[in-house]
Amino acid sequence: MKYDFDTVIERRGTDCIKWGVYPEDVIPLWVADMDFRSAAPIIEALRERVDHGVFGYTRPAEALRLALRERLKKLYSWGIKDEQIVFLPGIVTGLNIGIQAYAFPGDGVLVQPPVYFHFFRDPAHHGRTICAAPLVRRGDTYEIDFDRFESAITDRTRIFILCNPHNPVGRAFTEEELGKMAEICLRHRLIICSDEIHCDLLYPEHRHVPIATLSPEVADRTVTLMAPSKTYNIAGLECGYAIIQNEGLRRAWQKTSFGIVPWVNIMGHVAALAALREGREWLEQVMDYLRGNRDFLAGYVREKMPNIKMCRMEATYLAWLDCKEAGLPENPADFFVKEARVGLSNGPDFGQGGEGFVRLNFACARKTLTEALDRMAAAMSKL
Ligand SMILES: Cc1ncc(COP(=O)(O)O)c(C=O)c1O
């Protein structure tokens, strides 16, 4: 079927975070979900389950593990076993389990800022030390400085939290880059927690490589976090998974989670299964639409806001905009919300290297995006 992403769907009044935080006259382009309806087979599967009307304790269907295994095999030639999949109510939950299972208070956690804020705030919250290896800006993209990466590791660093694809800089790391990072991590005996939640949102010419697929040695030290939530716009249904091939790491994970981390809710399972089995058609179409929005945004910024620099995007629907030379009188996110009534994510929230940036979520109808950009350009023209 042909999906319609152009029609603007009213999300206010649905308790959604994105549209609920700001006053009514602000267009919110911040938190990472999409304004689109999810895939028809997902909606239909949920409807059928609701009609059944009994919502007692539930475990993930065998079919869900099978669907995930088949997908990993097909996309990445990655063969895993059923027992290596651990279901989770969210990827941030997974990050926090990893931090506590594999590092003691005072131990170090390696991260690559600017990055999704849970990567550095959550370890710090639990008393772990942040070892920062910032990504390096080169032209319109970011690269890894491998010397800096290695020198950020101390003798107390235990975990590397990788964000691939990377939020917010939009990189899909190459096999070569992943190989070099993995080699360094293995040499220092780090555990790799690889957050691959954005792995289905890659633009043409780019290919996702799960770091665990590089070699059995890397797989043995890696926890891979994946979910259908970003891919199919079902984040509110809270279903994700950790793939942990090493039995010892899996045991430590389960010990840390015991009695604290709840099972995934029924609707999350149902939606995940429908997504993995029947979501492809929707995903292909949404990626086409997102690619159109990305290119439209890049063209708009180039022509009408030339002092803002948009980073090249290999993946995600989150654009990383450098406003340092835009001559704004204050922090860019504050400026745009006050003067343009557009709500963007604040660059400094992504840690080191985020100053002067905003992150713009373009997973919305083109009309909404155009209106937001017109408002931003108008606000800047008054400077
Ligand atoms: C890299 C990354 N990890 C995790 C999450 C959130 O995952 P969850 O809602 O499953 O906790 C996000 C959401 O933006 C993200 O960008």
pLDDT tens per residue, range 209-220: 999 999 999 999
Which residue's C-alpha comes closest to atom 13 of ligand 1?
32
pTM of the predicted model as reported, rounded to 2 decimal places:
0.98
Give pairs for 374-378: CB < 8 Å, separation 24+. 375/27, 375/340, 375/341, 375/342, 376/305, 376/336, 376/340, 376/342, 377/300, 377/304, 377/305, 378/340
Mean pLDDT throughout 47-75? Answer: 97
Atom of ligand 1 nearest to the CA of 115: 1
What stretches of the chain adopt beta strand conformation (E)? Answer: 27-28, 85-88, 108-111, 129-132, 136-138, 141-143, 157-163, 191-195, 222-226, 240-244, 309-310, 318-322, 342-343, 345-346, 357-361
User: What is the SS3 assignment for 83?
Assistant: helix
Gap from CA of 380 to ligand 1 centroid (Å): 31
User: Mutation test of ligand 1: which of 96, 118, 119, 121 has the most ligand atoms closer than 8 Å to its C-beta?
Assistant: 118
Query: Does the Cβ of 90 fall within 6 Å of ligand 1?
Result: yes
User: Mutation test of ligand 1: which of 116, 233, 238, 239 has the most ligand atoms closer than 8 Å to its C-beta?
Assistant: 116
Query: Does the Cβ of 235 fall within 6 Å of ligand 1?
Result: yes
Gap from CA of 225 to ligand 1 centroid (Å): 10
What is the structure's pLDDT at 244? Answer: 98
Gap from CA of 250 to ligand 1 centroid (Å): 21
Mean pLDDT throughout 280-302? Answer: 98
Tens of pLDDT, residues 69-124: 999 999 999 999 999 999 999 999 999 999 999 999 999 999 999 999 999 999 99
Handedness of CA 239, 209, 365, 31 (dihedral sign): positive
